[in-house]
Amino acid sequence: YGTYGKLNSNEFPGDFLLGTATASYQIEGAWNLSGKGENIWDRYTHTHPELILDRSTGDVACDSYHKYEEDVALMKKMGVQFYRFSLSWSRILPTGFAYQINPDGIRYYNDLINLLLKNDIIPLVTLFHWDTPQPLEDLGGFTNALMVEWFEDYARVVFENFGDRVKLWLTFNEPKQTCHEGVGGDNKAPGYESSGIGDYLCAHNLIKAHARAYHLYDKEFRPKQNGSISITIDTSWMEPGTNSTADKEAAERKIAFNFGWYADPIFHPNGDYPEVMRKLVPERSKKEGFRRSRLPEFTKEEVKYIRGTFDFLGLNHYTTLLVKDIPEIPISGKPSVDKDSRTESWHDPSWPPSSAGWLKVVPWGFTKLLVWLKHRYGDVPIYVTENGFSDLGEIDDQGRVNYYKLYLSAMLDAMYEHKVNVKAYAAWSLVDNFEWRDGYVNRFGLHHVDMNDPGRKRTPKASAEYYRKVIAARKIHGID
Ligand code: PNW
């Protein structure tokens, strides 16, 4: 795998930010307390317990709604510089619409933000981490084009209430999980299973909603509040399965369909969906007998409106896939994004595992991805907003310590050897939390949370101590 893995420097630049991350549904609990409305994850876990590995819910989760002071104390102890958390739309707007604002929701986030600032921890706030208000989902959620306006209204409430103190914003976390897995499949809420149709429609509206919120901030709030705003998109690195030209092209296609789908319209200088998608989706749609392409089109004005709606690039990254070319996928069954992409992907069996089947430890893939981002999107500042490792919750979590050592080192390689402009890094996650379909089985926390204890006792793991040392020394080697 070439020269990746060689270390030039092991220090973080002076202005580099080290932090940690969580998301509202995964940690807050208090699902129906203090005026919060129902969201799609409340509905999904309550009506389909069999879809969650341990039949659990986020009803209480880490109870961070009541225990946020403890969470901030844990962060203070580690010395993190920023905390990435998400707002529960339904806690702020119980019906999803902006005509009814829940004062307790506003108070909760004000308390959290004020406490962070008092402790010199910068808040990085995600407006949406998958928990659509149920009343909006009942109207089609992101498959309804009006979602663009509803999201704008919500964003306005958020900027008005918190923008005087919050200077770093993310509109959406990982549109792929909302649209590809939640609408295209059933691996995430709401689980429509409208593959190859609903997922494209969802992404189309979500990207427009992002751009709307960006322009709102840019025009009406930035002049006074002076912050930065972007979106976070996730991808695995896509490595060609063999050296053949066909597989190399397949890996490029795969990352276009997996990441470029959401990123190109916003970050690519030309805007719009990747060319390969605009070619392959209409072609296959036609062969399937559709009268028009399943991929919606942006108008010229929309392309211009969406292009450039970022102040930095938010990236979530965990692992790598091998990709091979599938030249001919027979026309049968439901359409799908994967069929459109004419690729197949898998893991090299020699890659070290985690407790989650999808997450293998492949640090050189992180370096390659960061270099690829620079080539495709130019010298944009990159904020790594999630990276982490799953196990079954051990306190002496040497697997996680090892993962962070390797991935932080791979990131520094990209920065020093390849001059990639990485500015911030957030470890996923501050605490063990509700890991979506995996419930509380697979855990990502730097701190253990006892889910059987009504007090949800937090215990630092070896990785929390490791991260504390990294942050104190601002380097990754020779700190033990
Ligand atoms: C992220 N992949 O999702 C989410 O933002 C978090 O809420 C979640 O807890 C965390 O990862 C761990 O799963 C991803 O396959 C899930 O590359 C899978 C992938 C990437 C991100």
Q: Per the omega criterion (within 30 degrees of 0), is the bond before 135 cis? A: no
Query: Is residue 243 packed enough to be buried (19+ CB in 10 Å), middle (13-18) or exposed (0-12)?
Result: exposed
3-state secondary structure of 87: coil
Q: Which atom of ligand 1 is nearest to the CA of 235?
A: 17
Average pLDDT, the chain: 97
Question: Residues 342-362: what's their mean pLDDT?
Answer: 98
Q: Which tokens belong to 268?
A: 């690519």
Tell me, in angstroms, the distance from the centre of ligand 1 to residue 454's CA: 27
Indicate the top mutation candidate among 400, 428, 438 to test ligand 1's pocket, ranked by most ligand atoms within 8 A of CB. Answer: 428
What residue's CA is closest to ligand 1, atom 8?
435
Q: Return the pLDDT at 479.
A: 85
Q: Are the CB atoms for 16 and 475 separated by under 8 Å? A: no
pLDDT of 212 > 60? The answer is: yes
DSSP secondary structure, 280-337, as one string: HHHHHHHHHT-SS-SS----HHHHHHHTT--SSEEEE---EEEEEE-S---S-SS--H
Q: Are the CB atoms for 418 and 370 separated by under 8 Å? A: yes
Q: Are the CB atoms for 280 and 252 separated by under 8 Å? A: no
Q: Which tokens belong to 334?
A: 């439901």
Tell me, in angstroms, the distance from the centre of ligand 1 to residue 426's CA: 13
* Distance separating alpha carbons of residues 364 and 15, to the nearest angstrom: 24
Q: Which tokens belong to 129?
A: 């981490």
Q: Which atom of ligand 1 is nearest to the CA of 433?
A: 9
Q: Are the CB atoms for 277 and 293 separated by under 8 Å? A: no
pLDDT in tens, 362-388: 999 999 999 999 999 999 999 999 999
Tell me, in angstroms, the distance from the centre of ligand 1 to residue 384's CA: 13
| Ligand 1 pocket at CB < 6 A | 23, 26, 173-174, 177, 234, 236, 316, 318-319, 358, 386, 428, 435, 444
Q: Are the CB atoms for 425 and 16 separated by under 8 Å? A: yes
What residue's CA is closest to ligand 1, atom 13?
435
Its sign, for the CA torsion 440, 441, 442, 447, is positive
pLDDT in tens, 402-422: 999 999 999 999 999 999 999
Closest of 439, 455, 411, 442 to residue 17, by C-alpha: 411
Q: Return the pLDDT at 40.
A: 98
Tell me, in angstroms, the distance from the centre of ligand 1 to residue 390's CA: 10
State the pTM of this model.
Answer: 0.97
pLDDT of 1 > 50? The answer is: no
Task: Give 186's contacts (C-beta < 8 A, 6+ positions apart).
Answer: 51, 192, 193
Indicate the top mutation candidate among 174, 176, 383 to test ligand 1's pocket, ranked by most ligand atoms within 8 A of CB. Answer: 174
Q: Which atom of ligand 1 is nearest to the CA of 388?
A: 12
Quick check: is 417 catalytic? no
How many other CB atoms are there within 10 angstroms of residue 310's CB atom?
21
Residue of 28, 137, 386, 435 with catalytic role? 386
Question: Residues 73-101: what's their mean pLDDT?
Answer: 98
pLDDT in tens, 436-463: 999 999 999 999 999 999 999 999 999 9
Q: Are the CB atoms for 295 and 200 separated by under 8 Å? A: yes
pLDDT of 5 > 90? The answer is: no
Indicate the top mutation candidate among 231, 316, 355, 444 to test ligand 1's pocket, ranked by most ligand atoms within 8 A of CB. Answer: 316
* Distance separating alpha carbons of residues 195 and 217, to the nearest angstrom: 33
Closest of 40, 83, 91 to residue 65, by C-alpha: 91
Q: Are the CB atoms for 89 and 131 separated by under 8 Å? A: yes
Match 């220090």 to its residue by tokens.
11
What residue's CA is closest to ligand 1, atom 4?
174
Task: Give 23's contacts (C-beta < 8 A, 6+ positions apart).
Answer: 85, 86, 126, 129, 130, 173, 433
Q: Return the pLDDT at 253.
A: 98
Q: Which tokens belong to 238?
A: 């896509």
Quick check: is 386 catalytic? yes
How many other CB atoms are there within 10 angstroms of residue 153's CB atom?
16
Closest of 80, 124, 135 to residue 385, by C-alpha: 124
Indicate the top mutation candidate among 84, 231, 234 to test ligand 1's pocket, ranked by most ligand atoms within 8 A of CB. Answer: 234
Query: Which band of pLDDT confidence, cut at 50, 70 and 90, is reported for residue 8?
Result: low
Question: Residues 250-267: what's their mean pLDDT?
Answer: 98
Inter-axis angle of helices 462-473 and 398-417, to 10 degrees?
30
Query: Which band of pLDDT confidence, cut at 50, 70 and 90, is reported for residue 3?
Result: very low
Q: What percent of the chain has pLDDT over 70?
A: 98
* Distance separating alpha carbons of residues 219 and 225, to the nearest angstrom: 11
96: left (phi over 0), alpha (psi -120 to 50) or beta: left
> Using alpha carbons only, what angle is made at residue 83 by residues 78 and 88, rounded to the nearest 5 degrees?
135
* Distance separating alpha carbons of residues 183 and 171, to the nearest angstrom: 19
Residue of 174, 239, 252, 435 with catalytic role? 174
Q: Return the pLDDT at 321.
A: 98
Q: Are the CB atoms for 150 and 97 separated by under 8 Å? A: yes
> Using alpha carbons only, what angle is made at residue 41 by residues 39 and 44, rounded to the nearest 5 degrees?
115
Tell me, in angstroms, the distance from the centre of ligand 1 to residue 224's CA: 34
pLDDT in tens, 53-83: 999 999 999 999 999 999 999 999 999 999 9
Tell me, in angstroms, the distance from the centre of ligand 1 to residue 361's CA: 14
What residue's CA is closest to ligand 1, atom 9?
435
3-state secondary structure of 323: strand
* Distance separating alpha carbons of residues 92 and 145, to the nearest angstrom: 22
Q: Which atom of ligand 1 is nearest to the CA of 358?
A: 15
Q: What percent of the chain has pLDDT over 90?
A: 97
Lowest mean pLDDT among 8-17, 44-53, 348-357, 447-456: 8-17
Q: Are the CB atoms for 53 and 70 separated by under 8 Å? A: no
